[in-house]
Structure 1
Amino acid sequence: MKKKVYITRKLPEEILDKLLSQFDVGMWEEEYIPVPKDVLLKEVEDVDGLFCLLTDTIDAEVLDHAPNLKVVTNLAVGYNNIDIQAASMRGIIVTNTPGVLNETTADLTFTLLMAAARRVVEASDFLRSGKWGAWSPMQLTGQDIYGSTLGIIGLGRIGEALVKRAKGFDMNILYYNRTRKLEKETELDIQYAELTDLLQQSDYICILLPYSSEVHHLIGKEAFSLMKKNAILINSARGGIVDEEALYHALKDGQIWAAGLDVFEQEPVPVNHPLLSLPNIVTLPHIGSASVKTRLAMAHLAADNLVNVLNGNEPISPVVSK
């Protein structure tokens, strides 16, 4: 008898075919609507493997409804949507998809930086609304990027990839990380700074930390008070790292220049969210890794993790292993 797998969102055919060839597969057919909790609880009752997304909450309740579950494969690098402790206690392997999205996410992070600095979205809206009547010396002026100072909070693999892009703009680069990386300082020609110093000195601040309760609202009212008036904050990590209410006031009151967000505390973000009313913020719907090549690579890795475990082999990228 084939082992059973449940997939919480519609997948590309080439990924689905890989799983259908070996397993009895059930799948939530909607592409843009998450599987409801009550449906998920019913579907996992007799599955051996669960293929989920970052938007799916895999908590102890879900795991308790899945007595045969052996592996949860998460289509993301982050895994704060999964109760890791609960999975470990039940002997369930959890995997993620690191590595394959580093370059693509670094591209998007620098895209946000440039768009916020040069007011790209605001300028496009200005043109489309018919407000462009004539060229004016200070019309829609932004901030220079070349030769400025970039502060990176969280020097993981995406952070290292971002450094290489910033070097092309001759940026002076500071970084803050829980563990100082002396070899990377020499290799990448970057400088370590304590968080308060980084916030005070940087023209651009990019958040690339993994989310945990320890960094919840790390960037809040106090942090904004330390930043330059021309500072631009970029968050392509996780929404909970930034206190959105404090960010709103910092942007509205001119405490900082602008921001670029690919992530929010609540996703999808409500259309009446106060941040969306501000002109000096670029907002995106969590598309950091959204290139065709990268998303397919992530999906293949997630599928291969699941296949390996259910066939009695070691997972490629485990978060929790037996």
Structure 2
Amino acid sequence: MPSARLSVVVTRRLPEPVEARMRDLFDVTLREDDAPMSREELARAMREADVIVPTLSDRIDAGLIAQASDRLKLIANYGAGVDHIDVNTARQHGILVSNTPGVLTDDTADMTMALILSVTRRLPEGLARMQSGEWQGWSPTALLGGRVAGRRLGILGMGRIGQAVAKRAAAFGMQVHYHNRRRLRPEIEEEHEATYWESLDQMVARMDVLSINCPHTPSTFHLMNARRLKLMKPEAVIVNTSRGEVIDENALTRMLRAGEIAGAGLDVYEHGTEINPRLRELKNVVLLPHMGSATVEGRIEMGEKVIINIKTFDDGHRPPDQVVPAML
């Protein structure tokens, strides 16, 4: 007799090709609408399934994990970041955690450059003027932005995405600098013509553009706090496509309003969808709805990685993208 298929619960709508493949392989319960699951629904899924496939909108903390049945053996996260999952507690309960690293590198790096250009060249202001019908024609002094070529770009977090940002920035003629938990190998620095700064404070004080590309961990929470933000040059720009918690959003808002920082491009926010309302009012800020990874190709590749992780686990092997506490 064939063995019973794994019971898999997916917490959000996924691209149709991914859902179709899951139907073929597993006893899968798919989400009918795209609303996040309630805590009660998540708890029920963790009691009834062998595998759950959450996204960053699902907070799987110690309390939820404590309600899981012995049946749950894998949390196959749809996404690279796992700061919404208590990996330590899951491990203590014998539950594996996997993620989908690497597939969104180029998409997120593209969006980082898009935000840098949007802020420095004032694209939203131009768009708003066109949509309102206020534009009266070309003027020598209208909507003057700044040239990115020659500017110093400081990358905070020089992992896969940070290096992809460096590659794109170099093509625009920017000077690449970086701060990282560990210095890169000399050959990688040479490849990106990147200058390493051991002191984050010293780097921040000298950059024209600062790009946040590090994960959210206890050590990076408010890494860009009020004190460090005040080190930035008044004409500098900050861009964040990583995690909102890395920046003290209220401090950033105050400084942008006061003209102490020239502009910001944000795709992520400290409190999820609860964005500081004063931030929305500023013309020198570009706000996006966490769309850095929003390409059809990227989202399908994420789903394929999830499926590979589940299938490998079902075959009795360690998921290729297993996350362990030591990695965090």
Distance 2:226 2:324 in 1: 35
State the identity %: 37
Could you list the structure 1 runs, at least 4 aligned residues long, displaced by more than 3 angstroms after superposition.
none
Gaps of 5+ in 1: none
- 2:170/2:192 contact within 8 Å kept: no
How far apart are residue 63 of structure 1 and its match? 1.9
Deviations 1:36-77 (A, max 9, x none): 111111222121001110110111222222221111011111
Higher RCO (C-alpha under 8 Å, 6+ residues apart): 1
| Equivalent pairs, count | 319
Q: Which residue of 1 aligns with 2:217?
A: 212
Q: Which residue of 2 aligns with 1:63?
A: 65
Quick check: 1:259 aligned with 2:261?
A: no
How far apart are residue 87 of structure 1 and its match? 0.7
How far apart are residue 21 of structure 1 and its match? 2.1
Distance 1:81 1:120 in 2: 33
- Alignment counterpart, residue 189 of structure 2, candidates 185, 192, 200: 185
Question: Which residues of 2 match residues 32-47 of structure 1 at below 5 A?
Answer: 33-47=35-49
Q: Which residue of 2 aligns with 1:168?
A: 171
- 2:156/2:213 contact within 8 Å kept: yes
How far apart are residue 266 of structure 1 and its match? 1.9
- 2:45/2:52 contact within 8 Å kept: no
Q: Which residue of 2 aligns with 1:241?
A: 246
Quick check: 1:137 aligned with 2:140?
A: yes
Question: Which residues of 2 match residues 95-174 of structure 1 at below 5 A?
Answer: 95-174=98-177
What value does the CA root-mean-square deviation take over the aligned residues?
1.5
Task: State the TM-score, normalizing by the size of structure 2.
Answer: 0.93
Quick check: 1:288 aligned with 2:292?
A: yes
Distance 1:130 1:13 in 2: 39
Task: State the TM-score, normalizing by the size of structure 1.
Answer: 0.95
How far apart are residue 279 of structure 1 and its match? 0.9
How far apart are residue 145 of structure 1 and its match? 0.3
How far apart are residue 79 of structure 1 and its match? 0.3
Q: Which residue of 1 aligns with 2:233?
A: 228
How far apart are residue 319 of structure 1 and its match? 0.4
How far apart are residue 303 of structure 1 and its match? 1.8
- 1:70/1:310 contact within 8 Å kept: no
Distance 2:151 2:230 in 1: 20
- 1:4/1:49 contact within 8 Å kept: yes
SS, match of residue 219 in structure 2? helix
SS, match of residue 226 in structure 1? coil
Gaps of 5+ in 2: none
- 1:48/1:310 contact within 8 Å kept: no
- 1:5/1:49 contact within 8 Å kept: yes
